[in-house]
Amino acid sequence: MSRVVHFEIPSDNPEKTVGFYEGVFGWKFNKWDGPMDYWLIETGEEGTPGINGGLMKRQQEAQSVVNTIDVSSVDEFIQKVTDAGGTIAVPKMTIPSVGYIAYFLDTDGNMFGIIEHDESVVVDESAECQTEA
């Protein structure tokens, strides 16, 4: 069974949003050393209930919080999602040292992501996260 393993919070002002969640919930934020501005969020101690997430600059006006689901194969689940009536919002991308990710809209228009972890994935360091054709 595939589970939600990550969430992403879009923000118009990431520094202000970081301060909000640090102050209210005590979450810890660490700037990711990757090809885009992204903050990793630690929401609690390892081994306790819950998931960690990320914060990024808002890409679109109506962008909302997105949950990401762990899958065994992004390619396999792209087919499953589209066969079930979902649509691709962002095609499969590689994330260096993380794996593969894609974003979709479900049949009600809700966005979600899927991720296949593969730490061996390496991409041109000068490029942002790259979409696959």
pTM attached to this predicted model? 0.80
SS3 labels along the chain: CCCEEEEEEEECCHHHHHHHHHHHHCCEEEECCCCCCEEEEECCCCCCCCCEEEEEECCCCCCCCEEEEECCCHHHHHHHHHHCCCEEEEEEEEECCCEEEEEEECCCCCEEEEEEECCCCCCCCCCCCEECC
Which phi and psi (to 5°) does residue 48 adopt?
A: -100, 160
First to last CA, the chain: 28
Domains in the chain, CATH or no CATH each: 4-131 (3.10.180.10)
pLDDT score at 132? 54
pLDDT digits (tens, 9 = 90+) for 100-117: 999 999 998 999 999 999
Residue numbers in the chain where pLDDT is lower than 70: 123-133
